[in-house]
Structure 1
Amino acid sequence: MYDRQMLPLGHLGVAYLLYSLYAHVRFRRSPRPEPVLAVVVGSQFADLIDKPLWVIGVFPTGRDLAHSLLFAVVLLTVVYLVAIALERVETATAFAIAHLSHLAADLPPRLALGYPFGTEFLLWPVVSHHTFGYNERLFDPPTTVETVVMPLTDPTTFLAFEFVLFGLAVGLWLLDGRPGLEYARNLLRR
């Protein structure tokens, strides 16, 4: 059985593309530096929590606590409460977009084909891992969906797709004026 998870660069690419689009639509400008750093952290946050806990044997998979939507509700509530107090709501929104995009990007492409196996992490611990069988199908998608999604079920194609997403994100980041780079350098100089 193949249970593909997106790699860190893929998560970052998806998160930056989504947040930049949000900033351009919502504010009619490129993303600001502080929210871009929140995108970097938010895009990796779930794995930074769950992967070490999996390695030391606390959880059975690398997608448990921080990959759960139930955890996301609590986490993002706290993030927004702190952001409101610090007047950093735009930064909290950047983090939220990045964190939620991480969860969505970890959904297996087979879900679009009707196979829910590997999606249980979203409702962990209410729904336990491997609740769905690998070949259990809940619905038959339209042919066009099968045509588009089927190539992404191949590990090599999926990996190439991740690099394309990351490349697009880097290109957009350059077009946006490299937000966050000088800000991060200044933080490191302190």
Structure 2
Amino acid sequence: MWPWGHFGVAYIVYSLYARGRFGRPPRPEPALAVLAGSQLADLIDKPLAWWFGILPSGRSLAHSLLFAAGLLALVYAAGFALGRLETATAFAIAHLAHVLTDVPPRAFLGYPHGTEFLVWPLLEQPTFRFHDRLFEPPAVVEVLVGPFTNPAIFFFSEWLLFGMAIALWYVDGCPGLEYVRDRIPA
């Protein structure tokens, strides 16, 4: 998934969470935490893999659920210490949304190839062959997920999610915009 798609999913999920949990749209700091959390995995893994050759792929260390467990423990410890648990939760939701939206659609059809990053470094990349199938999904899953295995449809859906997130952000009152403006020297 591209950066805009990660942000789109993360913002929509967090905005719905904030409305359900607090009965209001996201506040500025959590909205900015969503932006950071939705991009962090790629900001760590892509340069370390592509520019420096330290990691085996652009989806390994920061995309691993093992890394997420440690990272989110630190984020929540900081959130608790600073009285910013809502911001920590926003970051956690966004980071996990990023990791889960990088799971290839074919994985939901039973084909695990490309999901090894979820438990890196426990599984080598790639461990599964492209045509290995672990389970037969229900027909409804085939109908819902099948179209998203087409790269053009998947790419279009990312832009659609991004557009929906921007519209929702606007409806939410553009949380974070004034916060950033107030902190930029004139």
2:23 matched residue in structure 1: 28
How much has 1:28 moved relative to structure 2?
A: 0.2
1:11 matched residue in structure 2: 6
After TM superposition, the score normalised by the length of structure 1 is 0.95
After TM superposition, the score normalised by the length of structure 2 is 0.97
1:62 matched residue in structure 2: 58
Q: State how far apart, in whole Å, the 1-side matches of 2:48 and 2:73 are.
A: 23
2:147 matched residue in structure 1: 151
Match runs of 1:2-151 below 5 Å: 6-55=1-50, 56-151=52-147
2:169 matched residue in structure 1: 173
Unaligned 5+ runs, structure 1: 1-5
Q: State how far apart, in whole Å, the 1-side matches of 2:183 and 2:147 are.
A: 42
Unaligned 5+ runs, structure 2: none
SS in structure 1 opposite 2:184?
A: helix
Aligned residue type for 2:111: Y
Aligned residue type for 2:61: L
How much has 1:189 moved relative to structure 2?
A: 2.5
Q: State how far apart, in whole Å, the 2-side matches of 1:78 and 1:45 are.
A: 14
RMSD: 0.9
Q: State how far apart, in whole Å, the 1-side matches of 2:183 and 2:94 are.
A: 21
How much has 1:69 moved relative to structure 2?
A: 0.6
Aligned residue type for 2:22: F
SS in structure 2 opposite 1:139?
A: coil
| Offset from partner CA, 1:63-100 (integer Å, 9 cap, x none) | 11100011111101111111111100100000000000
SS in structure 2 opposite 1:67?
A: coil
Aligned residue type for 2:12: L
| Residues matched between the structures, number | 185
| Offset from partner CA, 1:9-64 (integer Å, 9 cap, x none) | 00000000000000000000010000000000000000000000011111121011
